[in-house]
Structure 1
Amino acid sequence: MARSHLTLAALATSAVAELEVSGARSYSLGGAAEFDSALLSARDGQTYIIRVPTSQTAETEQSADLVALRALTTGIRSRLPFDVPTYLGQTPIGGTRAVVYDLLAGHHIEAEEVPPGDGLAGSIGHAIAAIHTLPTNFVGEAGLPSLSAVECHTSTTALIESAASTGLLPSALRDRWRDASADASLWQFQPTVINGALTADSLLVEDETVTAVLGWSALRVGDPARDLHWILAMNPDAAEGALGAYAATRQVATDRQFTQRAMLYAELEVARWLLHGREARDQSIVDDAVEMLDGLVDRVHTNSATPLANATGPIMAIGDVEAMLDRTPGDKNAQSYGHAGGMKPVIDDQSDRSSSSE
């Protein structure tokens, strides 16, 4: 049973010293809740949010997120053109914990709702580029993973083979992904600081500006293309605008290899959904993933210009990618300061994920 907003308000006063709550209401954005959440109005005029995980998966994600938020010091945050949640306090409850954060301004927007042009699309590109230009040393100092290009390649290859081992991966996709994995030119990149779990749900926006980025549980040094794969689901003109702004901010070209890796990661989200269904022993998820894999095969077969490996020809145009990614595996609305349900973005290497908890 979900905890009431009054119970959560009482927990918040235990979690944050001198917090005086003047009002509270339950808070959710729909979907299958993995957190009990409430918005709290305080006598100081501020609004806060309290979240209690309702599953082990959510608790693990929350723990990793707290480690990342503490690593994002005031100095690091000052380099970002958007806000990041601030951890204010916690208190134990029923074998887990309630955590209080400040409430950040903005609202969520679906990827396909991002309009073309330099407005919001450009702000998204600038925001992601700002993450990728952060100094990498603070990640290691916080005990968070730092993956080399070789390690990113290795974990991607392992994912492909895990999906193939299920016997449910169509041979056309297996070969397509293996060809991309075997193309050494795709994997010659400089790792950067990445959010690691970035999706449209991670962003809060106002007007045409990204005001905040949520969900930092996968913060690490890794392949910057991981943070950009979801952009390919935007309107083609919006995707071009976001990638152009990203390239201009980082002063690097979004070259063919970069876009190919991003598209590979986008396709592999379906493989992750399949493996998630198998691990959870949820046949409905497995069936959904198989249906999506079949649809992806159809897309590949109806467009001759879709190879991922350089040796075999050109890649999809962004418009073709947008059509291919007409829905996201397990796509549901965000729940408070996290994801509501469906598949969580999967870390490159689960063994590298910080197991620290506060």
Structure 2
Amino acid sequence: MARSHLTLAALATSAVAGADIVGSRPLSSSTTHRFDSAVVTLRSGEEYAVRVPVNSDAEAEQSRDLVALRALTAGVRTRLPFHIPDQLGQAPIGETRAVVYDFIQGRPASLADVGGEGSASDSIGRAIAAIHSLPTSVVSDAGLPSHTASQIALSSRKLSDRAAASGRVPKELLTRWSLALEDSALWQFQPTVVNGSLGPESFLVIDDQVMGVLGWQELKVGDPALDLFWLNSAARSESADRVFAAYEHALARPADRQLRKRARLYAELEIARWLLHGVDSRDESIIADAEGMLDALRTTVQNDLLNPLSTDTGQIMAVEDVEAMLDRTPLPGRSTTSVGGESKAHANRIAED
């Protein structure tokens, strides 16, 4: 049963010493219901956000988020053109805890905010560039994960191989992914600090400006394309173009020329991740859903042959040659890591693109 905003207000009083709370209201979320949340108002007019995880997965996510927020020190935050939540206190409730943060004004963005003139596209692009421009020591000093380009390529290859082992992915997609994964030029990039779980709802916006960024539980050094693949879900390619243009202009270094190709690959592999989640959980409805998205994606890429994922402009391997290569490649077991509703939502939008 969801906890009321009055209950959450009482928890905030316990979590933050001296908090003189005079009002509260529910805090809605644009994502699946993983937290009970509320906004509380202090007599001073200041506002806090209170969040209580509703299951163990959400609790683990919140714990990772708190670790990342501690890594993003006051000095680091001065480098960013938006606000990041500050943890103000905690209070136990049952077998979990309520966490209180300062409240950042703004509404969660949607894909509708990625558009032309007057949209938040430029501000979103600048916000992502600012994250990627942080020194990698921010992550390494906090003991958070740091991945090399070769490690990231290997991880993507393993995901594709596991999806292939399920026998449920169209051969055309396996061919497309294999060409990209074996293309060394695609993986010659400099890892950067990445949020790791960005989507449109990560950005709190007012009018056309990003006021804050939420959800730092996957903070790491990794592929900058991980923070941009969700743009493949934009209704129009020119909308994503605007974000990429603002991003590249704001970077302190030349942008990676293959960034968009890897972003597209990650977007497509997100459907494979959703499929494997269904296979691992033996959920036939998820499997059927993922298979439908994969079939739609196959049709999309067949109708868009001018935009391959690989960078090689020389001789292209024939489909039968790639299939033979796949047959020679040992495939790992079918175990996979569970993914949540956000991955499914991203995958669904990609399949429909």
Report the TM-score when normalising by structure 2: 0.86
Q: Secondary structure at the match of 1:285?
A: helix
Q: Partner letter of residue 164 of structure 1?
A: A
Q: Secondary structure at the match of 1:58?
A: helix
Q: Which residue of 1 aligns with 2:341?
A: 342
Q: Which residue of 2 aligns with 1:332?
A: none
Q: Which runs of 4+ in 1 moved over 4 A?
A: 251-256
How far is 1:37 from its partner? 1.0
Deviations 1:39-65 (A, max 9, x none): 111112111111111111111110000
Q: Which residue of 2 aligns with 1:181?
A: 181
How far is 1:256 from its partner? 4.2
Deviations 1:191-227 (A, max 9, x none): 0000000110100111111111100000000000111
Q: Secondary structure at the match of 2:28?
A: coil
Q: Which residue of 2 aligns with 1:213?
A: 213
Q: Distance in 2 between matches of 1:298 and 1:119?
A: 31
Report the TM-score when normalising by structure 1: 0.85
Moved more, 110-119 or 243-252: 110-119
Q: Which residue of 1 aligns with 2:271?
A: 270
Deviations 1:153-212 (A, max 9, x none): 111111111211222111111111111100000000000000000110100111111111
Q: How large is the RMSD of aligned CA atoms in angstroms?
A: 1.9
Contact 2:114/2:239 (<8 A) preserved? yes
Contact 2:146/2:222 (<8 A) preserved? yes
Structure showing greater radius of gyration is: 2
Q: Secondary structure at the match of 1:310?
A: coil
Contact 1:87/1:99 (<8 A) preserved? yes
Gap change, CA 1:28 and 1:278, over 3 Å in 2: farther
Gaps of 5+ in 2: 315-339, 345-353
Q: Give matches, 1:1-358, under 5 Å.
A: 1-29=1-29, 32-117=32-117, 120-234=120-234, 235-311=236-312, 342-344=341-343
Moved more, 30-39 or 247-256: 247-256
Gap change, CA 1:279 and 1:160, over 3 Å in 2: same
Contact 1:105/1:204 (<8 A) preserved? yes
Q: Distance in 1 between matches of 2:167 and 2:91?
A: 45
Deviations 1:234-266 (A, max 9, x none): 232221111111111114454542111011011
How far is 1:312 from its partner? 5.7
Contact 1:112/1:233 (<8 A) preserved? no
Moved more, 22-31 or 215-224: 22-31
Contact 1:118/1:241 (<8 A) preserved? no
Q: Give the number of aligned pairs.
A: 319
Q: Secondary structure at the match of 1:99?
A: strand
Gaps of 5+ in 1: 314-340, 346-358
